[in-house]
Amino acid sequence: MTNENQPTPEKTALGARDKNRIVAADDVRVDTWDACVDFPIFDAKTRSFKKSVLGRAGGVIGASDSGVAMVEALRNIDLHLEHGDRVGLVGHNGAGKSTLLRLLSGIYEPTRGACRVRGRVAPVFDLGVGMDPEISGFENIVIRGMFLGMSRKEMLAKTDDIAEFTELGAHLEMPLRTYSTGMRVRLALGVVTSIDPEILILDEGIGAVDADFMRKARIRLQALVERSGILVFASHSNEFLAQLCDRALWIDKGEIKMEGGIEEVVGAYEGPDAAAQVRKVLARMEAEE
Ligand SMILES: Nc1ncnc2c1ncn2[C@@H]1O[C@H](COP(=O)(O)OP(=O)(O)OP(=O)(O)O)[C@@H](O)[C@H]1O
């Protein structure tokens, strides 16, 4: 992570969201400067929010000048990532992790401040998004891949490999609606881990598959992360974070509370037992290399 100066008005005016353009590795970057995201809640049944209200979980609730309730989901986020950065996000429920991922994916614009993303972004928030229950597994492989920024031709070339990985055999000819939850996750993981993104934005949502398959999926997930330029990954699993990321950000009430190595940040956020777990995973990975 390196700092880059605040963008000049000219740079910001260009918009500079080149997420569908393939850029040289050195140019793949994510920058935010004091970025804030607020959600106005017009139908909130509130007593008046004269003061900002703070719970342990969730963003800060306040009110706009006109009295509309407002959740401050992100505040003053200054983040500068370049090719090779693999960053994990930790924090309580409602801390702002998903909102930050959506900001970096271009789904949300900052309410204040600026955000600039250079590179092709693959946002993987929900494994099931972009899947059609009425078409076959094979057809879904192509559609889901296109949804993640790949071309039809690229996906057709990957179909055999994905089919083999999923171990779904003849089921791939059947409509997706006939699949169990675990079968759907296998298919979705097969597609997601086959793509070639420059910036991979990953929200944890993986779980419904058996342990053997998850072991196999992790190897593919690690390979995916290695060929992506930048990874930003929100997770409540310290094991996953240790396996995929080399740095972490602790997000708390919409702000970056701490930034550092995984062990250091997880230790500060969750305590020494969690830090020891990270150390164990790192040692195991080193032994396996
Ligand atoms: N669409 C929305 N409208 C209103 N408020 C929202 C919206 N999305 C998120 N928020 C609020 O923004 C804050 C941050 O939410 P976010 O989903 O980013 O948290 P998170 O860290 O990803 O939480 P979790 O670990 O539970 O997934 C919360 O207070 C949440 O209530």
- Structural domain boundaries in the chain: 1-120+197-289
Residue 93 CA: nearest ligand 1 atom is 26
Question: Is the ipTM beyond the 0.95 threshold?
Answer: yes
Choices 1.10.20.10, 1.10.3720.10, 3.40.50.300, 1.20.1050.10: CATH for 1-120+197-289:
3.40.50.300
Confirm or reject: Cβ of 94 under 6 Å from ligand 1: yes
pTM: 0.82
Confirm or reject: Cβ of 91 under 6 Å from ligand 1: yes
C-alpha of residue 102 to centroid of ligand 1, in Å: 11
What was the pLDDT predicted at 16?
37
Gap between the Cα atoms of 90 and 259, Å rounded: 10
Tell the residue nearest (CA) to atom 19 of ligand 1: 94
Average pLDDT across the chain, whole number: 83
Residues 6+ apart with CB under 8 A from 30: 79, 80, 81, 104, 116, 117, 118, 119, 199, 230, 232
Gap between the Cα atoms of 165 and 183, Å rounded: 12
Local structure of residue 169 (DSSP, 8 states): G
Confirm or reject: Cβ of 89 under 6 Å from ligand 1: no
Q: What is the pLDDT of residues 207-241, one digit of tens each?
A: 555 667 777 777 887 788 888 889 999 988 888 88
C-alpha of residue 110 to centroid of ligand 1, in Å: 15
Which H/E stretch holds residue 269?
Answer: helix 262-270
Confirm or reject: Cβ of 71 under 6 Å from ligand 1: yes
C-alpha of residue 173 to centroid of ligand 1, in Å: 38
Cβ 229 vs Cβ 24: under 8 Å: no
Amino acid at 237: S
Cβ 190 vs Cβ 162: under 8 Å: yes
C-alpha of residue 1 to centroid of ligand 1, in Å: 25
Angle in degrees, CA 122, 211, 248, rounded to 5:
45
C-alpha of residue 74 to centroid of ligand 1, in Å: 9
Does residue 10 have a pLDDT over 70?
no
Confirm or reject: Cβ of 171 under 6 Å from ligand 1: no
In Å, what is the CA distance from 276 to each residue of 222, 230, 265, 282, 285? 22, 26, 12, 10, 14
C-alpha dihedral, 133 to 134 to 136 to 141, nearest 10°: -50
Amino acid at 195: I
Residue 57 CA: nearest ligand 1 atom is 29
Confirm or reject: Cβ of 63 under 6 Å from ligand 1: no
Q: What is the pLDDT of residues 62-120, one digit of tens each?
A: 767 777 778 899 999 999 999 889 999 999 999 999 999 999 998 899 999 999 999 98
Q: What is the pLDDT of residues 161-204, one digit of tens each?
A: 999 999 999 999 999 999 998 898 889 889 988 988 889 898 87
Q: What is the pLDDT of residues 29-72, one digit of tens each?
A: 999 999 999 998 877 655 555 555 556 666 677 767 777 778 89
Confirm or reject: Cβ of 88 under 6 Å from ligand 1: no
C-alpha of residue 38 to centroid of ligand 1, in Å: 10
Gap between the Cα atoms of 81 and 1, Å rounded: 5
Q: Are strands 230-234 and 69-82 parallel, antiparallel or unpaired?
A: unpaired
Residue 100 CA: nearest ligand 1 atom is 18
Give the pLDDT band of residue 131 (cuts 50, 70, 90). Answer: confident
Gap between the Cα atoms of 266 and 10, Å rounded: 39
Gap between the Cα atoms of 35 and 79, Å rounded: 9
Tell the residue nearest (CA) to atom 8 of ligand 1: 99
